[in-house]
Amino acid sequence: MHHQHPPLNDLNYYLGLDGCIVKSFSRFRIFDAITISTSSIGVIDMLFFHEDNISSLCCPAGPPAVVRSFSYLSFNLCKWCESSSPVCEDRVCTSNCSLNSFCNVTEEICIAIWRKTNDTMTVHTMCHNPSLPLEGVDPGLLLNFTSRECHMVPQPADDGAVMVCGCHGDHECNDRLIFDKGANGFSKLQSKDVIPVVVVSLVPPFLVAIVATAAFYFYRTRRPDKPSPPVRPDWPTKRTPDLYQAFDLPCGGLGPRRDGGGGVTGPGAEMEESNAKLPNNDNISDMTAWQGHLAEPLPIKLEAVVGKGRFAEVWRGCLLDGEKGGVSSYETVAVKVFPAVEYASWRNECSIFSDPKLEHDNVVRFFAAMERGPPGHALRKYWLVLAYHSLGNLQDFLSANILTWEELIAMAGSIARGLAHLHNDTTPSGVPKVPVAHRDLKSSNIVVKSRKECALCDFGLALRLDLSLTADDYANSGQVGTARYMAPEVLESRVNLEDLEAFKQMDVYSMALVLWELASRCEAIGEVKSYEPAFGSKVCEQPCVDSMRDLVLRDRGRPEIPSTWTQHQGMGVFCSTITECWDHDPEARLTAHCVVERLNALQQEEEEGGRQEEEEEEDVRRGTDREIRLPLLQVSVCSS
């Protein structure tokens, strides 16, 4: 018998409930059902969690029960970022962290660790139990953090300055960091900056005066031998590509593409020598420092938006590639432009690409990472410069194209090879590497290099599966990604953080849905319908987690594979591989490496079958020629 529960303070409603089963759900946790047993007295205590909703009360008939009390467990909601760049004004800084999480236990409080090294400030925010030690923080200090506000307290540091604060009670109280004057040394830190500020303030006027004097002198003593180059037009102040860039380069339509790779060549404008002397793309990575950062920005001109995702816009741009014989050459590149609020996503993608062992034919090529705009300003942008592929992402490609069987197997194999490379702990040459879980694999996060090859992209949610990390380090790594492509265990919030293979199994499930989308647009299945994403006929365009949970968990739903698909012998094997990849049991799923082997075998069979057909056709053609020529030859001999 199911009851629609009233407000929790309506105790009268619960009279007469005995042996009830209470299902309690939270936005962040799913608790098992709690069976309420009552004594003959019929008095019970009920325990609920902060912000929980009781979805159902299932009660058999029995003697009356009286709910004596309700209790709530309150969990602190804290900002939780490993590193973020704070924004400061007066003596208050905000963490600039875009992630948050409820603490796992009620004893945990919100912690913020502020560090300043040279001119760089970072903040590490988290939940932490004050009774447990925290590296670099005085243990006794943690127990004194009882305020609702986060007041910074200095800590000894070998390099730079370190301050710590703790708080609880208010949501995300570790987002606002308060530096008390004279109490924690922040004013002392600021005083060290007084001299540089004064110097910076006074030097520009002197430099302007010197430059003006020198310019006036040269103007009076020398006349220009040739007219000055034309002044470049001012760019509009509206939101245009040029708002983001520091260089104005001629690009696009200047000449033919080089090597078919998307670059362009043509007569360049008169440019500074420092801008023209850039290394080839093969050496761009040598220019990078920490996490692919460039000491100086690359000369890139943004041309047009070609895509927009959850965290960033993707622009087509062109990069000055050098100058030969007075002719400037350009390379077309893709530039992901992150706004300031998505710094954490940009930083995470930088950390993934910073590993040179990630490079693979089926992983989008990374050139550089850059920061553009004034620090701390709302217009500050963060760039990733990547290889550009004119065919776009796989979702758009499938919407406009039907695949042959050969193209299907080749594309699917390239996707599986890219994922297998991420998951492997060695490179193809056997060099050890850290495995990576993509965690947001979908057709719109795959670029099409050609009609037979794809590459994985968008690593904003990717996770390095470092064996040195513990389950606590992965505590924030559960329910992420796009709801449509989430594995059952992710939707259920039951990811085994103790086993790093669990993250790979989640990726394999997502890949299975992508392979289904490929198969649905292949002519080998017979009648090919218009493109639709996985579960497209069962959920809305952007389904929420709850909708997918009902479909995938409750109904055990999967995209439909009609019997007509498997009439093609190879497609039967392909569909069998898909179903083994989206198995409800993560342990039963194939690995990405196993999928590669299966698809390689299919491709090899297809190639051998193609060669055999060609040989048979050639034999038939030659036999027909002999049958036609022999009678003519006999006639010729007889007539002679």
User: Tens digits of per-residue pLDDT, 22-54?
Assistant: 444 333 333 333 444 444 334 444 444 444 444
> Does residue 138 carry a pLDDT above 60?
yes
**pLDDT at position 477, please?**
64
Cα(156)–Cα(369) distance, rounded to whole angstroms?
A: 33
**pLDDT at position 264, please?**
28
Paired sense of beta strands 109-117 and 81-84, if any: unpaired
Question: Is 218 domain-assigned?
Answer: no
**pLDDT at position 473, please?**
72
**pLDDT at position 160, please?**
83
Specify binding-site residues for ATP. Answer: 336
> Does residue 255 carry a pLDDT above 90?
no
User: Per-residue confidence at 391, pLDDT binned at 50, 70, 90?
Assistant: very high
Question: Is 214 domain-assigned?
Answer: no
The larger pLDDT score, comparing residue 547 to residue 212, is at: 547
The larger pLDDT score, comparing residue 145 to residue 412, is at: 412
Question: Which residues have C-beta within 8 Å of that of residue 65, sequence separation ≥ 6?
Answer: 14, 15, 16, 17, 18, 20, 36, 38, 42, 43, 44
The larger pLDDT score, comparing residue 322 to residue 247, is at: 322
The larger pLDDT score, comparing residue 191 to residue 420, is at: 420
Question: Is 423 domain-assigned?
Answer: yes
- Range in 12-16, 329-333, 384-388, 462-466 the model is least confident about: 12-16
- Range in 93-97, 367-371, 630-634 the model is least confident about: 630-634
The larger pLDDT score, comparing residue 573 to residue 374, is at: 573
Cα(121)–Cα(160) distance, rounded to whole angstroms?
A: 10
- Range in 226-230, 274-278, 332-336 the model is least confident about: 274-278
- Does residue 515 share a domain with residue 414? yes
**pLDDT at position 7, please?**
44
Q: Is 102 exposed, middle or buried (0-12, 13-18, 19+ CB in 10 A)?
A: buried
CA distances from 400 to 16, 258, 364, 396, 541 (A): 62, 26, 22, 7, 18
Per DSSP, which regions of 389-512 are E strands? 436-437, 446-450, 453-456, 463-464
> Does residue 639 carry a pLDDT above 90?
no
DSSP-derived 3-state class of residue 527: coil
**pLDDT at position 296, please?**
62
**pLDDT at position 327, please?**
74
Closest residue by Cα to residue 123 from 132, 131, 138, 112? 112
Check: pTM over 0.75? Answer yes or no: no
Cα(214)–Cα(391) distance, rounded to whole angstroms?
A: 53
- Range in 200-209, 217-226, 323-332, 475-484 the model is least confident about: 217-226
**pLDDT at position 471, please?**
73
Cα(114)–Cα(584) distance, rounded to whole angstroms?
A: 43
Total domains, the chain: 4
- Average pLDDT over the chain, rounded to an integer: 76
**pLDDT at position 244, please?**
37
Beta partners for residue 69, in sequence order: 45
The token duo for 270 is 């008169």
- Does residue 276 share a domain with residue 166? no
- Range in 100-114, 422-436, 546-560 the model is least confident about: 100-114
Range of the domain at 111: 77-192
The larger pLDDT score, comparing residue 471 to residue 602, is at: 602
Q: What is the mean pLDDT of residues 318-340?
A: 84
Could you say which of 390, 413, 438 is where a domain stops? 390
> Does residue 144 carry a pLDDT above 50?
yes
CATH of the domain at 453: 1.10.510.10
Please list the active-site residues.
Answer: 440
Q: What is the mean pLDDT of residues 363-387?
A: 89
User: Per-residue confidence at 180, pLDDT binned at 50, 70, 90?
Assistant: confident
- Does residue 262 share a domain with residue 180? no
DSSP 235: P
**pLDDT at position 509, please?**
98
> Does residue 346 carry a pLDDT above 70?
yes
Assess contact for 462 and 437: CB atoms under 8 A: yes
User: Per-residue confidence at 506, pLDDT binned at 50, 70, 90?
Assistant: very high
Cα 439-445-450 angle, rounded to 5 deg: 135
> Does residue 598 carry a pLDDT above 60?
yes
Could you say which of 15, 42, 73 is where a domain stops? 73
**pLDDT at position 436, please?**
96
- Does residue 557 share a domain with residue 419? yes
- Does residue 522 share a domain with residue 404? yes
**pLDDT at position 426, please?**
94
User: In this predicted model, what pLDDT tens digit does every residue of 67-86 receive, in sequence order?
Assistant: 444 444 567 889 999 899 99
The larger pLDDT score, comparing residue 126 to residue 274, is at: 126
Cα(508)–Cα(519) distance, rounded to whole angstroms?
A: 16
User: Per-residue confidence at 221, pLDDT binned at 50, 70, 90?
Assistant: low
Could you say which of 177, 192, 207 is where a domain stops? 192
Question: Is 234 domain-assigned?
Answer: no
The token duo for 173 is 């109280």
> Does residue 413 carry a pLDDT above 60?
yes
Closest residue by Cα to residue 319 from 261, 406, 385? 385
Question: Is 619 domain-assigned?
Answer: no
The token duo for 185 is 């040394």
- Does residue 515 share a domain with residue 416? yes
DSSP-derived 3-state class of residue 447: strand
Give the relative orientation of helices 569-581 and 501-519 as an angle to the nearest 10 degrees: 150
Question: Is 517 domain-assigned?
Answer: yes
> Does residue 271 carry a pLDDT above 50?
no
> Does residue 266 carry a pLDDT above 70?
no
Closest residue by Cα to residue 393 from 341, 342, 351, 440? 440
Assess contact for 386 and 457: CB atoms under 8 A: yes
| Amino acid of residue 198 | V
Specify binding-site residues. Answer: 336
- Does residue 402 share a domain with residue 372? no
- Does residue 255 share a domain with residue 109? no
Question: Which residues have C-beta within 8 Å of that of residue 17, sequence separation ≥ 6?
Answer: 36, 57, 59, 65, 67
> Does residue 410 carry a pLDDT above 80?
yes
**pLDDT at position 55, please?**
43
- Does residue 379 share a domain with residue 278? yes
The token duo for 441 is 């694999």
Question: Is 209 domain-assigned?
Answer: no
**pLDDT at position 257, please?**
34
Cα(265)–Cα(248) distance, rounded to whole angstroms?
A: 16
In 387-446, which ranges are continuous DSSP H helix? 394-400, 405-423
- Does residue 355 share a domain with residue 291? yes
CATH of the domain at 186: 2.10.60.10
**pLDDT at position 47, please?**
44
- Range in 33-42, 50-59, 220-229, 233-242 the model is least confident about: 233-242
> Does residue 382 carry a pLDDT above 50?
yes
Assess contact for 268 and 327: CB atoms under 8 A: yes
**pLDDT at position 607, please?**
83
Question: Is 490 domain-assigned?
Answer: yes
Backbone angles phi, psi at 372, to 5 degrees: -130, 140
CATH of the domain at 255: 3.30.200.20
- Does residue 124 share a domain with residue 24? no
- Does residue 378 share a domain with residue 408? no
- Range in 336-345, 368-377, 516-525 the model is least confident about: 368-377
